[in-house]
Amino acid sequence: MYKLVILFFLLVLPAFAAPLKLATFRADVTPPVGAPLCGGLVKPVAGVSEPLLALGVVILSDEKPVVLCAVDWCEIRAGDHVHWREVLARAAGTTQERVAVHSLHQHNAPIGDAAAHELLAGCLAPPAVLDIPWAERALQGVAASIEAAVKNPQPVTHIATGQAAVQQVASNRRIMGPDGKVAKMRLSSTKDAAMRDLPEGLIDPMLKTVSFWNGEKKLAVLHYYATHPMSYYGDGMVTYDFVGTARERRTQDDGVPHVYFTGCGGNIAAGKYNDASKEARVRLGENIHAAMVASEDKPQRRPLAKIEWRARPVLLLPNPEFPEKRMLKVAENPATAAATRISAALRVGFIRQCAAGVPIQFTSLHLGDDVCLLHLPGESFLEYQLYAQQQRPDGFVATASYGDGAPGYIPLEKSFAEGGYEPTQAFAAPESEKVMRETIAELLSAK
């Protein structure tokens, strides 16, 4: 009889698993006038074109909640990224390993790196990286929005997926010469018609969308696309730029929260289609919006009864070509250009993060059996996104990059020999490609 009772509970208990629920949050994270933008690398805040937002969802199940957060900042790095995850985890009633925080990466926006700011503050004539008191207030505001949201979650019964090609936005930044080296760099914008006439190069044209539903009621929508998301910057006007305008327009279209995650855009930008004019910003936003609409036009809808969260702590070793001692000398030298000092201080932060054994969290969220959301750090090259999709060729894989920004660019190993800009701002060692691929494969493996 005792064995029969145990067997009964083993068979029946799964039916009593807590139903999935979803909460959405939205908070203002706009810096004040005078605050540094892009970590002090561009003109500080002079005004606001659009308020910056932290947006996301909290998924509640019979395990600890999962938080997906997209922030309209340029980057959140190292200790700041850990701090964000810890604060948001407490607000949601979960652990920091189950929180993914990603930056939009437009440049008229803050870089969260208090350690770099404080390192420079101890030097002569220090450039400012971050308004630290304001940044902490902004983070606490995001936490408060999560605390309020999780009090009133809604049941989730289904998800839907879709994708659509984005027209005339993305192009590869690295234009290769016949010798296998980078011959030219086509960055976020160019007024050179000859540069714009060159081919797009390797991109991922697809914007991917995942939406959450309660029966026939749409609750929230997540969008993913790989490109540097800036049309022009450096004028001191805070903006979420063209991808943000598309996102907010979609939110207004149907009254449902839309959240945008920048994919692996480390070597991708809008340079082929962008002359840095105001008209180009509008056109790029319209093209992203059109793809968002198209991605939801014929959604692949299925019931959602289970989720799985995977987290892998990873140590990416620093690039030995830039030792801490030399970088400290650069950061401390008041005669050196401010941008060079700031870059050196950011690099020191990553070196010290590695020395302290503080890992970067790589994570994935599996929705049902075939939908995988992958979360990567830094400015990962597009090839990692394409590699992720290859791991689940029969599934739906959407990738968010620009998590912990501490590693800077994460190129391929061969990219360092090819040259170009990105390897000069790759703080992790060239051998990081092997670790990246192994971790991605593990996070997306079919178990």
- pLDDT by residue (tens digit) across 394-436? 999 999 999 999 999 999 999 999 999 999 999 999 999 999 9
Q: Answer whether residue 5 is part of any domain.
A: no
- Report the C-alpha gap between 164 and 166 in whole angstroms: 6
Q: For residue 200, what is the enclosing H or E element? A: none
Classify strands 360-367 and 371-375 as parallel, antiparallel or unpaired: antiparallel
**Which pLDDT does position 2 carry in this prediction?**
41
Q: For residue 61, what is the enclosing H or E element? A: none
In this prediction, the residues of the chain whose per-residue pLDDT falls under 70 are 1-18
Check if the beta carbon of residue 402 is closer than 8 Å to that of residue 379: yes
**Which pLDDT does position 37 carry in this prediction?**
98
Q: For residue 183, what is the enclosing H or E element? A: strand 182-185
Check if the beta carbon of residue 89 is closer than 8 Å to that of residue 300: no
Q: Answer whether residue 173 is part of any domain.
A: yes
pLDDT tens sequence across 128-185 = 999 999 999 999 999 999 999 999 999 999 999 999 999 999 999 999 999 999 999 9
What is the b/e burial string over 410-433, where b = at least 16 CB atoms within 10 angstroms of the residue's CB? bbbeebbebbbebbeebbbbbebb
In DSSP terms, 207 is beta-bridged to 164
- Report the C-alpha gap between 29 and 54 in whole angstroms: 6
Q: Answer whether residue 222 is part of any domain.
A: yes
- Report the C-alpha gap between 47 and 337 in whole angstroms: 25
- Report the C-alpha gap between 405 and 71 in whole angstroms: 13
44: left (phi over 0), alpha (psi -120 to 50) or beta: beta
| DSSP secondary structure letters along 391-438 | HSTTSEEEEE--SB-TTBEE--TTHHHH-SSGGGGB-B-TTHHHHHHH
SS (H, E, C) 91-135: HHCCCHHHEEEEECCCCCCCEECHHHHHHHHCCCCCCCCCCHHHH
Give the structural domain span for 389: 20-444
Q: For residue 218, what is the enclosing H or E element? A: strand 217-225
Q: Answer whether residue 213 is part of any domain.
A: yes
**Which pLDDT does position 18 carry in this prediction?**
67
Please state the domain count of the chain: 1
> pTM for this structure?
0.95
Q: Answer whether residue 12 is part of any domain.
A: no
Among 341, 395, 346, 387, CA closest to 368: 395
- Return the ∠ at Cα 386 (arms to 54 and 178), rounded to 5°: 115
Q: Answer whether residue 397 is part of any domain.
A: yes
Q: Answer whether residue 7 is part of any domain.
A: no
CB atoms < 10 A from the CB of 306, how many? 14
Q: Answer whether residue 266 is part of any domain.
A: yes
Is residue 296 helix, strand or coil? Answer: coil
**Which pLDDT does position 447 carry in this prediction?**
73
